[in-house]
């Protein structure tokens, strides 16, 4: 028995489902999840000591590679002063100012401990600012597991949402409206019907939770116009795309400015951190200056701030994003070309250090098209790559991530594994 199998068996006795986040359980691909013991650069090492090229990067944060020396040094220095104070520290301000240099749309921000907290708080703030209850989200976009967001579409484009998880009250779900991603006509119809009752529209400007989908040209601009016309707060969930697809996230890459932005992952450098921020007049509605309450005992934790600040410092290196985008593009195009040589239909997309691979005949631009992809061949490809030392996301609905430590040699090893994997399918 592999060590990972034993560890999963033991974990299942005391941890619900054997894991602390569902996608880790390998239910979407079958088999036993891999338990890891350490990581360095682009590599993960499991409990048996086997090496894997990592394309998850802790689901995004490890843009500068695992166990980055500068990040580790920053954390070591921080912990000598204590782990948490429950009181203000100067590094919180340093971190906030640094984030603002990347995201000029954020006049003010507030730190929290997760992306879920960030999106939940941003929605509450938008409701308090507008005095409205209804929110709009999109099929296939995931914004954390707060009740208002675990809602799926009803039977028609203009119907109220219904809970997508037990434990979410129907009375709460009715305040959440769902739209198909990349369908501007559907958004226009919804806003024409109910626009004046909507508090906010929250969207992943480039999706990462139904794999990676880039919006159609003019789509985000159209949503921005609708929000302006109806006094709706536009929220970009850039927990994944922030600092990933470009220095200033998807809003910089695509040229559309939201009212509020939610961040996470990279700003913690691997530690649990989230943030939300935007226009000063909206942010000033937060307590203690305003009536909208939001709090967190460990928000702005000094150790997490140190890890995040060191990570953001690494991103300022000359040519960092040009090199990262080229590496990611080369890997994705190489895998797609190898699939074609093997007679397998595959589509690929990338931006910055984020990518998506789809087993499909045509480009994928919507949630419906994602669900139509060949899931069976994905499962077989995932395990074929895993057996050859390449760790991909264990779900065809998740985007992948590349770090600055993925060298040409690492990409070549990846493509060798892909070639052999396609031949085995």
For the CA atoms of 411, 400, 26, 164, the dihedral, rounded to the nearest 10 degrees, stands at -170
What pLDDT score was predicted for residue 213? 97
What pLDDT score was predicted for residue 303? 97
What pLDDT score was predicted for residue 166? 79
Mean pLDDT, rounded, for 331-357: 98
What pLDDT score was predicted for residue 1? 59
Which is more confident, 115 or 150?
115
Q: 162 pLDDT band (50/70/90 cuts)?
A: low
Tokens describing residue 246: 């470009």
What pLDDT score was predicted for residue 159? 42
Q: 61 pLDDT band (50/70/90 cuts)?
A: very high
Q: What is the pLDDT of residues 91-148, one digit of tens each?
A: 999 999 999 999 999 999 999 999 999 999 999 999 999 999 999 999 889 888 876 7
Count Cβ neighbours within 10 Å for each residue of 187-223 and write b for 16 or more, e otherwise: beebbeeebeebbbbbbbbbbbbbbbbbbeeebbebb
Mean pLDDT, rounded, for 246-261: 98
Mean of per-residue pLDDT scores for the chain? 94
pLDDT at 378 over 50: yes
Q: 314 pLDDT band (50/70/90 cuts)?
A: very high
- The H-assigned helical ranges of 114-177 are 115-130, 170-173
Spatial separation of the C-alpha atoms in residues 307 and 69, rounded to whole Å: 11
Mean pLDDT, rounded, for 385-389: 98
Which is more confident, 25 or 407?
407
The number of CA neighbours under 13 Å toward the Cβ of 343 is 3
Catalytic annotation, residues: 142, 237, 265
Spatial separation of the C-alpha atoms in residues 37 and 56, rounded to whole Å: 16
349 closest CA partner among 331, 371, 324: 331
What pLDDT score was predicted for residue 163? 67
What pLDDT score was predicted for residue 181? 96
Which is more confident, 171 or 395?
395
Q: 161 pLDDT band (50/70/90 cuts)?
A: low
Q: Which residues contact 262 (CB under 8 A, 6 or more apart)?
A: 115, 118, 119, 122, 143, 235, 236, 237, 238, 239, 274, 275, 276
- Total-model pTM: 0.95
Q: What end-to-end distance do the CA atoms of the chain give, in Å?
A: 25
The residue written with tokens 């999109």 in the block is 138
Spatial separation of the C-alpha atoms in residues 106 and 258, rounded to whole Å: 9
What pLDDT score was predicted for residue 156? 41
pLDDT at 323 over 60: yes
4-8, 176-180, 188-192: range with highest mean pLDDT: 188-192
pLDDT at 158 over 50: no
55 closest CA partner among 389, 420, 346, 409: 389
Mean pLDDT, rounded, for 267-290: 97
The number of CA neighbours under 13 Å toward the Cβ of 41 is 9
pLDDT at 174 over 60: yes
Domains of the chain: 3-63+318-424 (3.90.1150.10), 69-314 (3.40.640.10)
pLDDT at 152 over 80: no
What pLDDT score was predicted for residue 305? 98
């Amino acid at each position: 028995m592999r060590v990972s199998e034993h560890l999963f068996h033991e974990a299942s006795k005391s941890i619900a489902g054997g894991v602390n986040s569902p996608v880790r359980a390998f239910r979407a691909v079958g088999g036993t999840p891999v338990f890891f013991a350490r990581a360095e650069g682009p590599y993960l090492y499991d409990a048996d000591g086997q090496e894997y090229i990592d394309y998850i990067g802790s689901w995004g944060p490890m843009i500068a590679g695992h166990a980055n020396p500068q990040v580790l040094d920053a954390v070591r220095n921080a912990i000598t002063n204590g782990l948490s104070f429950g009181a203000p520290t100067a590094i919180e301000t340093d971190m906030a100012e640094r984030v603002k240099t990347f995201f000029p749309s954020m006049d003010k921000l507030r730190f929290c401990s997760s992306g879920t907290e960030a999106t939940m708080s941003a929605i509450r703030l938008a409701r308090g600012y507008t005095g409205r209850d209804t929110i709009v989200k999109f099929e296939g976009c995931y914004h954390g597991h707060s009740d208002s967001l675990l809602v799926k579409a009803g039977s028609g484009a203009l119907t109220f949402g219904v809970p997508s998880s037990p434990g979410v009250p129907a009375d709460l779900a009715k305040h959440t409206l769902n739209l198909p991603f990349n369908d501007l006509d559907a958004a226009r119809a919804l806003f024409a019907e109910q626009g004046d009752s909507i508090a906010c529209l929250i969207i992943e400007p480039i999706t990462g939770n139904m794999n990676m989908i880039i919006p159609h040209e003019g789509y985000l601009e159209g949503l921005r116009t609708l929000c302006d016309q109806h006094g709706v707060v536009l929220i970009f969930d850039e927990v994944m795309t922030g600092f990933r697809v470009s220095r200033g996230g998807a809003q910089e890459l695509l040229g559309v400015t939201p009212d509020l932005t939610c961040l996470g992952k990279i700003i913690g450098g691997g530690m649990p951190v989230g943030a939300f921020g935007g226009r000063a007049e909206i942010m000033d509605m937060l307590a203690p200056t305003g009536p909208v309450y939001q709090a967190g005992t460990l928000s702005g934790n000094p150790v997490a701030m140190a890890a995040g600040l060191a990570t953001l410092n690494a991103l300022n290196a000359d040519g960092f994003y040009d090199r990262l985008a080229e590496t990611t593009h080369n890997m994705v195009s190489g895998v797609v070309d190898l699939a074609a040589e093997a007679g397998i239909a595959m589509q690929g997309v990338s931006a910055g250090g984020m990518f998506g691979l789809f087993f499909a005949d045509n480009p994928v631009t919507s949630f419906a098209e994602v669900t139509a992809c060949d899931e069976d061949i994905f499962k077989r490809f995932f395990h074929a790559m895993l057996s050859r030392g390449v760790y991909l996301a264990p779900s065809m609905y998740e985007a992948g991530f590349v770090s600055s430590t993925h060298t040409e040699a690492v990409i070549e090893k990846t493509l060798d594994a892909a070639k052999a994997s396609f031949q085995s399918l």
